[in-house]
Structure formats: structure tokens, C-alpha cells
Amino acid sequence: MQTISSFLLLSKRDNDRALETAGAVRQSLERRGLDVLLIAPDEDLAMKDFCASAPEGGLAVIVFGGDGTLVGASRRLLSYGARAVILGVNFGKVGFLAEVSPDHWESAVEALAEGRMPVVHRLALQWEIFHEGESSAAKHGFAVNDVVLSRGTLARVLSLHVSVDGQPLGQVRADGILVSSPAGTSGYALSTGASLVHPSVEGVTIAPISPFLTRFPSMVLPPDSVVDVAVDRKSHETYLTVDGQDGIVLSHGDTLRTRGLPRALRFAVPDMADYYRRLGRCGFVPPVGAGA
């Protein structure tokens, strides 16, 4: 791992414990003579400027918050084109992506600053909306977990046409369809019946949401697949949701195009073997030692 010289610390202002821990981390890093900035995750301009000024490959971003805060920050980094190493200190409820306990940040930050912490590459998603065959400049972006097309306020199924790499796959009538990264399969995709995909298996998962009289299985596709989902012109109100955080209303006949981006994100991993233990701790599988 390349030596890190610049650290961007992101902590919500309304979490006193997270902010206090972030301040302690800043002091620890500054004593090492490193370049450190502590800001809130929504300070977009300051975040972008700091990333631009950091040396190539020498930037780490430490997020003090829950999985949602880490996902939102990672999506911003993708939009900047910043090749940062990302580490999460968990102050949320789940802590599946934000792996470091607030009580043990010292050893994790020390290992990261000294280049001793393993870094893994993870797949992300890039999406854009086409209207009447034309891409919309205002409707495009990135996702860390998933992009979801779903019905609106009325409980009526959608009619969606799915293609992969330009080849028609079929039509599905359902409440919606999602396209997920491996990380995202531990979220919404799992509730649809799709399988958990290990984060090191770079693949794009597509899964229907409550399909109606349709045989359309969830699928895991190659990592650079391009998935087009076209909304039938006769369908009702349709929403695009990105990582469960941002939403856009689609028009009839719009097409969502999602592309897998292999190795787009870099995450610092304190314990390479901890994935399976976290599955148990977070309730995805019975914890080790659980009774029959």
C-alpha cells in the first residue's frame, strides 16, 4: 500500500461522540506531520477541493458515522474521480461497511497512516437516464450499493423491458427492479430473494421486486455489464432511487442504463477474515455458536 500523506475526516455535526472521536484522530494524525482536514460529509466544495489538492494515490478518507454516511461519502468521491482509500469508523446501527469500532480506532488509524492496513478494490455502479433515446445531462451519477426502479404512490405493477449489453433479456411485470453491486446485495437485493455476493466477487446483480406472473430470476452478471431497464410507455409513475438516498421521478418511456465499474472503490480492511463474522453480528446469518 502506498504511503498516505493526506487525510480527509468526515463526521456529522449532530453526533457528539463521532465528532469527539474525529477530533482525537485529527490530533493524532497532525502529530505525525500529516495533512488533515475535518469537515461534515455534506461540505461538498471543501471536500472536492481537498481531494483535488491531495497527491495522487496518497489520500485517505475516514468516515465517522454509519453505513449510510460511508456510502454517501463514497459516492461523492466517485463523482470527483478521487482514488482515495476509504475507512469507516462505525457510529451507526449496523456497521456492516463501517468496520472499525469507535473504541479501537487508534490501532486502525496507526496501521492506515503507516501503510500497513490491507486495501481492497470494490465494484461500483454508474447510471444515467435516457429520454427518447437521448442521455440527460442532469440525470446521471454513481452508486455504491444499488439503483432501484420502483412503482410510485399507487400499488400497481410496472412493465419493464430489460437488456444486458444490448441484448434483450425479457420483460418483467413487477413492483420494480434493482441493479446492485456485491456490497449492495446485503441490503435491498437480499430482501428480494437475491443471494448475498461476497464483496471480492466483482459482479453486477439484477433482481425483480415482487414479480407478478413473470418468471424472471435474479442474476449475477460480469463486472463490466451494461444493464438497460426501459419503462413501458403504459406504465404508471416510476421512481429511480440511488443507494436509498437520492430519488428521481422518471417519465414514461425513459430508460435507466447502469454500468458496472470494476475496482472503482478502494476500502481499507482492518481484518480480511472479518466478513463472515460480520454476517452473524449484523443478523444476515445465525451467529457462530447459536443453538439449533
Q: Write down the pLDDT at residue 288.
A: 60
Q: Write down the pLDDT at residue 135.
A: 74
Residue 257 lies in a domain: yes
Q: Write down the pLDDT at residue 137.
A: 65
The rounded mean pLDDT for the chain is: 89
Residue 186 lies in a domain: yes
Among 28-37, 210-219, 240-249, the least confident range = 210-219
CA 232 remoteness from chain centre? 28
Q: Write down the pLDDT at residue 162.
A: 95
Indicate whether 140 and 248 sit together in one domain.
yes
Contact present, 87 and 267 (Cβ < 8 Å): yes
Q: Write down the pLDDT at residue 268.
A: 93
Lookup result for grid cell 480506532? 105
Q: pLDDT tens digits, residue range 31-44?
A: 999 999 999 999 99
Q: pLDDT band at 261, cuts 50/70/90?
A: very high
Q: pLDDT band at 1, cuts 50/70/90?
A: low
Beta strand segments in 103-254, E = 119-131, 134-143, 146-151, 158-164, 167-174, 176-180, 204-209, 219-221, 226-231, 238-242, 246-250
Give which of 63, 3, 5 is closest to 32, Cα–Cα: 5
Beta bridge partners of 246: 242
Using DSSP, how many helices (H) and how many strands (E) does the chain show? 6, 16
CATH of the domain at 52: 3.40.50.10330
Indicate whether 165 and 210 sit together in one domain.
yes
Number of domains composing the chain = 2
pTM: 0.90
Indicate whether 94 and 143 sit together in one domain.
no
Q: Write down the pLDDT at residue 93.
A: 75
Task: Output the nine-digit C-alpha cell for 103.
Answer: 473504541
Helix (H) or strand (E) holding 9: strand 6-11
Indicate whether 34 and 158 sit together in one domain.
no
User: What is the extent of the structural domain holding 153?
Assistant: 124-262
pLDDT at 45 over 80: yes
Indicate whether 79 and 131 sit together in one domain.
no
The answer to whether 44 is a known catalytic residue is no
- Catalytic annotation, pick one of 16, 35, 67, 103: 67
Instruction: Give the list of residues 6+ apart from residue 56 with CB closer than 8 angstroms, or none.
Output: 83
Read off the pLDDT of each residue in 241-262 and give the average, rounded to a whole number: 92
DSSP state of 2: P
Residue 51 lies in a domain: yes
Lookup result for grid cell 433515446? 133
Indicate whether 145 and 199 sit together in one domain.
yes
Q: pLDDT band at 289, cuts 50/70/90?
A: low
Residue 92 lies in a domain: yes
Query: CA-to-CA distance for 286 and 112, rounded, in angstroms?
Result: 31
DSSP for 49-70, written as a single string? HHHHHSPTT-EEEEEEE-HHHH
Percent of the chain with pLDDT over 90: 60
Side-by-side strand order, sheet with 246-250: 219-221, 204-209, 176-180, 146-151, 238-242, 246-250
Residue 42 lies in a domain: yes
Residue 291 lies in a domain: no
CATH of the domain at 236: 2.60.200.30
Residue 150 lies in a domain: yes
Indicate whether 215 and 273 sit together in one domain.
no
Q: pLDDT tens digits, residue range 133-153?
A: 777 666 899 999 999 999 877
Backbone angles phi, psi at 36, to 5 degrees: -135, 140
Percent of the chain with pLDDT over 70: 93
Task: Output the nine-digit C-alpha cell for 17.
Answer: 461522540
Residue 199 or residue 284, greater confidence: 199
Contact present, 278 and 270 (Cβ < 8 Å): no
Indicate whether 275 and 226 sit together in one domain.
no
Q: pLDDT tens digits, residue range 215-236?
A: 888 999 999 999 999 988 777 7
CB neighbourhood size of 26 (10 A): 18
Indicate whether 128 and 256 sit together in one domain.
yes
Indicate whether 111 and 152 sit together in one domain.
no
Indicate whether 106 and 152 sit together in one domain.
no
Residue 287 lies in a domain: no
Beta bridge partners of 188: none
Q: pLDDT tens digits, residue range 64-118?
A: 999 999 999 999 999 999 989 999 999 887 667 778 889 889 999 999 999 899 9
User: How far, CA to CA in Å, does 13 sit from each of 24, 64, 89, 271?
Assistant: 15, 10, 15, 29
pLDDT at 290 over 60: no
Indicate whether 98 and 177 sit together in one domain.
no
Query: CA-to-CA distance for 113 and 50, rounded, in angstroms?
Result: 18
